[in-house]
Every structure is written in structure tokens, then in C-alpha cells.
């Protein structure tokens, strides 16, 4: 199995190693996004409004996975620091407990989704024309929480070791299986929306044994060992101190998106479908910048773990310079290709749906730089273990900025659905400015640089 040694992150050329880390993540994100487009392509053959049903359930799904997102953020920080400090025993124990609690939480979430499916959909005011499809899709997707949690922790462990390839390989395999099962379950077995969701669950199930085998194998890096590393309340507390703010921030973020869906559903199922289609197309152009941000977090964590705070600062600065170049390129491509891609993946949709989908995609790609900026700030906070700061930023962006803006645009302007896209962009712009100020204050307070010894650090809160 190909891996990167941890000292590549501590001593290697920052830009070169960052790109080496980011490239597999770009491939993974590309496969995930293309799968999402292919999945909605097959679903679109059932009817264009069915894409809206996927969009409704996607945020419920993300609310559930928010908890493993928090565990992953905590895991990358803690495990990267353990690697940087050379404390592999503690890293192994943390990895084992991370996996154990992830499995328990995922089982609870899967059960909740099945039992409370109807109350959730009624609360969202899902229109009648997509209600049954949304319900069936949620039922088929519920088991996937268990397998998604396992795969996310697998990626967290490998990425903390400096290996961003292993998880990518498994997720590519899962996506390929998914694309094969989609038409089989949807059309051959005639399971419709339930079949589309079940294909996702089964594809993740089939690759999970390989992830488990890799996590349980001692390759000389951090791994899982249920027999050797017993449950520890001290380790659990250390994990949850970081994971809880990140999880709650991610959950409140996704719950906010669910509330946002209620606003969008007020414009009808067509606009809900446009939100889903436009979002999927624009996400293609966010792949490089998202991958760079994901690769940055373990750089920050390992550098702080090794107490090399000058490199910590250099990592962020050089990552940003690389990101701006990439961002400029993908923005131009996005503006040129958004319409052709909508027409390619959704050739049979109505003119109204196509125009709204393209409009949202164009608004998104035109402001990619703000998504890059925000993701880098979050990566910097999470890598440093400042998950509480990430929590506040995520909550502020959605609850203090975006949702009030959505309400204001809907009530006091005649922008219609365009107001949705403008509110989303404005919230990103404002939070980037707030987040950067916060970042500068926090890091200057904890890591004081001067000219004589390059770095002077105070770890006191």
C-alpha cells in the first residue's frame, strides 16, 4: 500500500507535498461529484422533479453525517499531532476509540431516519409531487450511515499518517459499483427512488471490509487494535472536547441548510430541483480548492505536534498562494462550462429548470474564491485543534447571515429564486472577512513571531 511518510509533511517542500496530498483527494472528490451527477442523471429519467427529492434528502443525510465530520476533524488534529510528536501508542488508542464511537453513533442515526422518516418530511413541508419519492429515498439511504462513518474514519486515520491515496482508492471502487447498481436497481428491478438510494448503501457496504482490514493491519503507522487498546474515558474526553464543537457546528450548518430547503421548497419543486442540479454542476469546479483545503489540515496538525510553529505559518501562506492560482483557473472554466454541463447531464429537463440550474451554477463558480478562503480558514482552525472556532464560523455563516438574508430577500425584494443564490454568496463573503480577522487574532495570540528567534510560542489559553 502506497503511503507518505509523516516527515514529508514536517520537512518536505510545502507546495510540492501539499499538491501530492491534494491530487488523490481531487481524484476522490471528482469521482464523488461525477457519481452524484450520474446518480441524478439516472434518477432524472424517472422525472425531472425526482432530482428535487434527492436534494431534500441530501441535507437530512448531511445532518446525520455531521457527527462523523466532527469526529474526523478532531481525529485529524489529534492523530496528526500524535504522528508529529512520535507518540504512536496514543495515536493507535485514539484511532481505535474513534472507530468504536463512530459505529455506535451511525447505528443510532440510521434507526432514527427509519423511525422518524414521515415526521421529518412533513416538518419540511415536502410537496406532494415529490413526497413519496423523498420517503423511499430516505429509507434506502438509511443503512449507508453505518458504512459512511466507517469509511470516513478510515480516511481520517490514513490522511493523518500522510496517506491520502488509500481512502481515495476505496471510494473510487464504491462509486464505480454505485454507477453499475444504479440502473440495475432503478430500472431492471423497478425499485425507483428506493433502488437509487439502496445502490449507494450497498456500494459502500461492499468496500467496508477492505477499509476494516487496512485499519486493523499494523503497517508501522497509526492503526486500530480492538484487543490491545481498551476503551479509555480520558481518551474519549480528549476526543469529544474537540469533536463536539466540530460536530455541533457541522450539524447546525446542515440543519441550517435543511431550514434553507424549506425556503427553497416555498418556490416549488422545480426550484428545489434547480438547486440540486446547479449545486452538483458547480461542485465540479470546487473540487481542486476543496482538496487543497483538506490536505492543509494535517500539515497544520503535524507541524503543531512537532512544535514547528514557523512551518505552521508557512503552510498556510503557501497553501493560499497555490489555491488562488487554482481558483482563478477553475472560475474561468466554470463560467464557460456551466451551461454545457447542465445540458450534457440533464438533456431532457424543461427550459425553466435548465435556466434556473445554470443561473445558480454561474453565481456559485463566480465566487469560488470565497469558498476557497473559508475552507482554508476552517482547515487551519481544525488542524490546530481550534474546532470551537470552526463551530462559531459555521454557525454564524448560516444562522446569523444566510437564513436571515434568505428571509429578507424573500419578503422585501422581487428577486424571486435569484435572491436565494445572492443570499448564499453574500453570506460567504461576509463570513470570510470575519473569519480572517478571527484567525489573525487567535494565531498571533498563541504563536508570537519575532525577528530574533523566528518564533516564540505561548500555549496558554
For 372-393, what is the mean pLDDT?
86
Is a pLDDT exceeding 90 seen at residue 338?
yes
C-alpha cell at 374: 473559508
Q: Tell me, what's the pLDDT at 333?
A: 94
Residues 6 or more apart from 134 whose CB is under 8 A from it? 53, 56, 57, 121, 126, 193
Higher pLDDT among residues 443 and 375, named by residue: 375
Q: Which of 32-41, 52-61, 129-138, 441-450 has the lowest mean pLDDT?
A: 441-450
Q: Tell me, what's the pLDDT at 243?
A: 85
Residue 126, helix vs strand vs coil: coil
C-alpha cell at 5: 511518510
**Residue 325 banded pLDDT, cuts 50, 70, 90:** very high
Cα end-to-end distance, the chain, whole Å: 40
C-alpha cell at 459: 500555549
Higher pLDDT among residues 69 and 452, named by residue: 69
Q: Tell me, what's the pLDDT at 151?
A: 95
Q: Tell me, what's the pLDDT at 8?
A: 60
**Residue 144 banded pLDDT, cuts 50, 70, 90:** very high
Higher pLDDT among residues 387 and 378, named by residue: 378
Length of the chain in residues, anyone?
Answer: 461
Q: Is the pTM of this model over 0.85?
A: no
For 274-299, what is the mean pLDDT?
88
Q: Tell me, what's the pLDDT at 454?
A: 43
**Residue 12 banded pLDDT, cuts 50, 70, 90:** confident
Q: Tell me, what's the pLDDT at 404?
A: 93
Assess contact for 69 and 250: CB atoms under 8 A: yes
Kindly tell me the burial class for residue 317, based on how many C-beta atoms sit within 10 Å of its own C-beta (0-12, 13-18, 19 or more).
exposed
Is a pLDDT exceeding 50 seen at residue 455?
no
Residue showing cell 451554477:
361
Which DSSP helix (H) or strand (E) runs through 456? strand 456-457
Q: Tell me, what's the pLDDT at 2?
A: 41
Residue showing cell 445540458:
343
Most confident of 49-58, 237-246, 341-350, 420-429: 420-429
Is a pLDDT exceeding 50 seen at residue 90?
yes
Boundaries of every domain in the chain: 6-450
Q: How far apart are CA 77 and CA 169, in angstroms?
A: 23
Q: How far apart are CA 251 and CA 237, in angstroms?
A: 20
Amino acid at each position: 500500500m502506497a503511503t507518505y511518510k509523516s516527515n514529508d509533511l514536517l520537512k518536505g517542500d510545502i507546495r510540492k507535498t501539499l499538491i501530492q496530498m491534494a491530487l488523490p483527494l481531487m481524484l476522490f472528490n471528482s469521482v464523488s461529484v461525477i457519481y452524484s451527477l450520474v446518480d441524478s442523471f439516472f434518477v432524472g429519467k424517472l422525472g425531472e422533479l425526482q432530482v428535487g427529492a434527492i436534494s431534500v434528502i441530501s441535507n437530512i443525510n448531511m445532518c446525520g453525517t455531521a457527527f462523523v465530520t466532527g469526529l474526523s476533524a478532531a481525529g485529524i488534529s489529534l492523530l496528526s499531532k500524535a504522528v508529529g510528536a512520535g507518540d504512536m501508542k496514543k495515536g493507535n488508542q485514539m484511532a481505535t476509540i474513534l472507530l468504536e464511537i463512530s459505529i455506535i453513533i451511525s447505528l443510532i442515526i440510521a434507526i432514527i431516519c427509519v423511525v422518524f422518516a414521515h415526521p421529518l418530511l412533513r416538518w419540511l413541508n415536502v410537496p406532494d409531487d415529490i413526497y413519496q419519492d423523498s420517503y423511499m429515498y430516505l429509507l434506502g439511504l438509511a443503512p449507508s450511515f453505518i458504512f459512511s462513518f466507517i469509511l470516513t474514519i478510515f480516511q481520517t486515520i490514513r490522511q493523518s499518517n500522510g496517506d491520502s491515496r488509500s481512502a481515495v482508492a476505496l471510494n473510487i471502487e464504491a462509486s464505480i459499483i454505485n454507477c453499475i447498481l444504479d440502473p440495475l436497481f432503478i430500472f431492471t428491478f423497478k425499485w425507483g427512488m428506493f433502488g437509487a438510494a439502496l445502490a449507494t448503501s450497498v456500494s459502500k457496504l461492499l468496500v467496508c471490509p477492505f477499509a476494516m482490514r487496512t485499519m486493523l493491519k499494523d503497517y508501522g503507522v497509526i492503526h486500530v487494535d480492538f484487543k490491545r487498546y481498551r476503551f479509555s474515558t480520558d481518551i474519549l474526553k480528549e476526543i469529544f472536547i474537540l469533536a463536539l464543537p466540530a460536530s455541533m457546528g457541522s450539524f447546525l450548518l446542515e440543519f441550517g441548510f435543511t431550514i434553507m430547503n424549506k425556503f427553497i421548497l416555498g418556490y416549488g419543486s422545480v426550484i428545489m430541483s434547480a438547486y440540486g442540479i446547479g449545486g452538483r454542476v458547480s461542485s465540479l469546479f470546487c473540487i481542486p480548492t476543496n482538496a487543497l483545503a483538506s490536505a492543509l489540515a494535517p500539515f497544520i496538525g503535524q507541524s503543531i505536534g512537532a512544535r514547528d510553529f514557523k512551518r505552521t505559518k508557512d503552510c498556510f501562506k503557501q497553501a493560499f498562494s497555490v489555491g488562488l492560482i487554482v481558483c482563478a483557473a477553475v472560475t474561468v472554466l466554470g463560467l464557460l462550462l456551466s451551461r454545457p454541463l447542465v445540458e450534457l447531464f440533464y438533456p431532457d429537463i424543461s427550459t425553466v429548470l435548465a435556466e434556473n440550474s445554470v443561473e445558480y451554477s454561474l453565481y456559485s463558480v463566480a465566487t469560488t474564491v470565497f469558498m476557497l478562503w473559508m475552507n482554508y480558514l476552517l482547515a487551519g482552525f481544525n488542524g490546530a485543534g481550534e474546532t470551537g472556532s470552526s463551530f462559531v464560523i459555521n454557525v454564524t455563516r448560516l444562522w446569523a447571515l444566510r437564513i436571515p438574508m434568505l428571509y429578507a430577500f424573500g419578503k422585501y425584494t422581487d428577486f424571486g429564486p435569484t435572491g436565494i443564490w445572492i443570499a448564499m454568496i453574500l453570506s460567504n463573503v461576509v463570513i470570510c472577512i470575519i473569519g480572517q480577522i478571527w484567525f489573525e487574532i487567535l494565531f498571533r495570540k498563541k504563536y508570537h513571531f519575532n525577528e530574533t528567534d523566528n518564533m516564540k510560542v505561548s500555549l496558554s489559553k
